[in-house]
Structure 1
Amino acid sequence: MKEEFQGRMLRIHFGEDDKWQGKSLHEAILTKCQELNIAEAIVFRGIEGYGAGSRIRRTSHFSKDAPIQVSIVDTEEQIARLIPFLDAVVEEGVVASSTVEAIRYSRTKS
């Protein structure tokens, strides 16, 4: 099945060491996305970068604080339901938001 819709994409940038309630921040965000039935959420692990605190984040032998990006796509309404959670859990980072034309493909059961 193919569904086309105008949606919103969030890109959430933070560090690999960031936690929420004892687990990785990216895991907490993905879990919340699943609870809200968000259409798409993917975690990307970067090689090197910096963000809100201007501190270089990288993976090395001495540090495992790589930059992380969580990319999320769904309707405006679904994304709006996620924002209060992000407000509560993201302590340092950047959330970029943009309008997108999305196509969702899914398997239909016969």
Structure 2
Amino acid sequence: MLQNGALMRIYIAESTKINEKPASRFLPEYFMKHGLTGCTVYRGMSGFGHENKLRTVDVLQFSLDLPVIIDVIDTKEKIMAVLPEVETMIEDGLVMVQDVQMIQKVPK
């Protein structure tokens, strides 16, 4: 059954820190503590941001600061409730929110 929800997608660099901890570890713990349904962290193989610096795992252009995407999905109300604090935590990156249709399958 389709259910309305929201997806928060956060684009940051691997080196991004929040409270002296890697953001890619801090944020999933933050979302879990706030009762959100799910969070997935993706480490990119290649990418660039507003600074136009290519970050890649290519041996000739190797970077230790790869792109990271964090997806969080839940009801729109829950996503919007944490958004203001997330905005203040992300000093260099991009946060976007979009409406989604969810089909939640839970093991019985």
Choose between structure 1 and 2: higher strand proportion. 1
Q: Which residue of 1 aligns with 2:99?
A: 99
Note the residue ranges of structure 2 that are not aligned, 5 or more in a row.
Answer: none
Q: Which residue of 2 aligns with 1:89?
A: 89
Match of 2:103, SS? strand
Match of 1:64, SS? coil
Q: Which residue of 2 aligns with 1:19?
A: 17
When the two chains are superposed, the root-mean-square deviation of aligned CA atoms in Å is 1.8
CA distance in 1, matches of 2:17, 2:58: 19
Could you tell me the TM-score, scaled by structure 1's length?
0.85
CA distance in 2, matches of 1:79, 1:89: 15
Note the residue ranges of structure 1 that are not aligned, 5 or more in a row.
Answer: none
Amino-acid identity (%) = 25
Could you tell me the TM-score, scaled by structure 2's length?
0.86
